[in-house]
Structure 1
């Protein structure tokens, strides 16, 4: 049996007025797609910050596989970009390559840029101004920017939240394609239980006083927290 790409053991964390987790343990296998679900305020974003080493556990451990090393990619719901600024989708993605000291791009970097633009199906609009792009096209640009780091573990942080139904499926179809072709491990933070059931094999539910990790095939929508259940009812997932 191969080593998990991520192992969380007996994790505890909270803030002065709220304990978020006590003794949280789970692991993710290489190449898995997992949804992280739960009502607002139960610590989904905090868990992501812990995984990205922006916060330190108060107890327990977070351990990524050592060899080959884990390279994290992060796709947010929004980027703080001035939409009036005349920045093309290509140039926006390319900003990720300006983290180094030099302001020119090597042939290797240009090849990597073209590769992620093609992989995210943005070639035909790569020279379109980012401010003119649709919500789905912007999310693909955020995804392409994350892929420039050649990650093997991708975190999608509510990336579908502001998209219409068809665009959500288009984005998740792309993520599923990347998972299958590149063996990319994916952690998908979402409120959308229908997307979780369709695109992920397992889910981690946080409620504030307990956690649950099961195959999505065993997800009981009727027993989910009220906020998620109401959202599912509004989407027509629960009759």
Structure 2
């Protein structure tokens, strides 16, 4: 699907990401985890070509993303940031409609096919009844679903989510992650997301990438990555790992901070 090969990112002569590589298969859910300030969001922005990298390549189906223009990239992947902002009086359907513009020429209006895709995206995110509501009238979970609907209307092959559960309460976190799983299972959409919660990453991911101070520490399935040693090394915490066959994914029980 796409490959990140030896990516390095600098800011004011300081290395933020160093020689970072991993591969994402089509139809996978991949989570990037690591402590605050480790470079998770920076890495995601570089993959989406929102920020430059001075070394390495990002290839999508064998094509270097640097050889594509912005519209071509937008048709292949969409990045949703931690904080997405829209005018307070914008309606849900207007927001979702913006997802069609990478497929249109300058000043070209949306046609019947575009609107069918917009309504399809609203239906997929369970927002059809909310289409005329303004964005500022939505709950946190509803607002996040509206932005995901906009991304779906863009019809990308890959959805990049930067901490999609940040600022949401537990029920809305569950709502958003269940939607992500539904999109992956029903549509085969490839998802790469940054998460903080280790158990959410374990439960919802096919594979996990661990980053610490800009370097890759581990990459593999939740069973391979979620270990006592990794958590001790990366998070400076002792933990117990429960292996529950009924859930098919390991569960992390954080114990105490290592002094």
Shorter-chain TM-score bucket reads: 0.7 to 0.9
TM-score calculated relative to the size of structure 1: 0.85
Correspondence for 2:254:
238
Correspondence for 2:183:
178
Residue by residue, what CA displacement relative to the aligned partner does 1:63-108 show, whole Å, maximum 9, x if unpaired?
11148x971022222222233x2x2211222233456434743111
- Quick one: structure 1 residues 118 and 223, their matched pair in 2 at CA, closer, same or farther if it must change by over 3 Å? same
Q: How does 1:46-125 map to 2 (within 5 A)?
A: 46-66=42-62, 71-83=76-88, 85=89, 87-97=90-100, 100-102=105-107, 104-125=109-130
Separation (CA, whole Å) in 1 of partners of 2:7 and 2:155: 28
Separation (CA, whole Å) in 2 of partners of 1:203 and 1:174: 19
Greater share of strand: 2
Correspondence for 1:220:
227
- How far residue 6 of structure 1 moved from its aligned partner, in angstroms, is 1.3
Match of 1:39 among 35, 38, 43: 35
- What runs of 5+ residues in structure 1 fail to find an aligned partner? 231-235
- How far residue 157 of structure 1 moved from its aligned partner, in angstroms, is 0.8
- What runs of 5+ residues in structure 2 fail to find an aligned partner? 64-72, 240-251
RMSD: 2.5
**Contact 1:179 1:185 (C-alpha < 8 Å) held by counterparts:** yes
Separation (CA, whole Å) in 1 of partners of 2:78 and 2:176: 16
Separation (CA, whole Å) in 1 of partners of 2:42 and 2:5: 16
TM-score calculated relative to the size of structure 2: 0.79
Separation (CA, whole Å) in 2 of partners of 1:30 and 1:193: 23
Give runs of ≥4 in structure 1 deviating > 4 Å.
227-230
Residue by residue, what CA displacement relative to the aligned partner does 1:203-232 show, whole Å, maximum 9, x if unpaired?
1111016312121123125425337889xx
Out of 124-133 and 98-107, give the one that drifted further. 98-107
Separation (CA, whole Å) in 1 of partners of 2:96 and 2:238: 37
Count of residues in correspondence between the two structures: 227
Out of 188-197 and 47-56, give the one that drifted further. 47-56
Correspondence for 1:206:
211
Separation (CA, whole Å) in 2 of partners of 1:95 and 1:209: 33
Correspondence for 1:233:
none
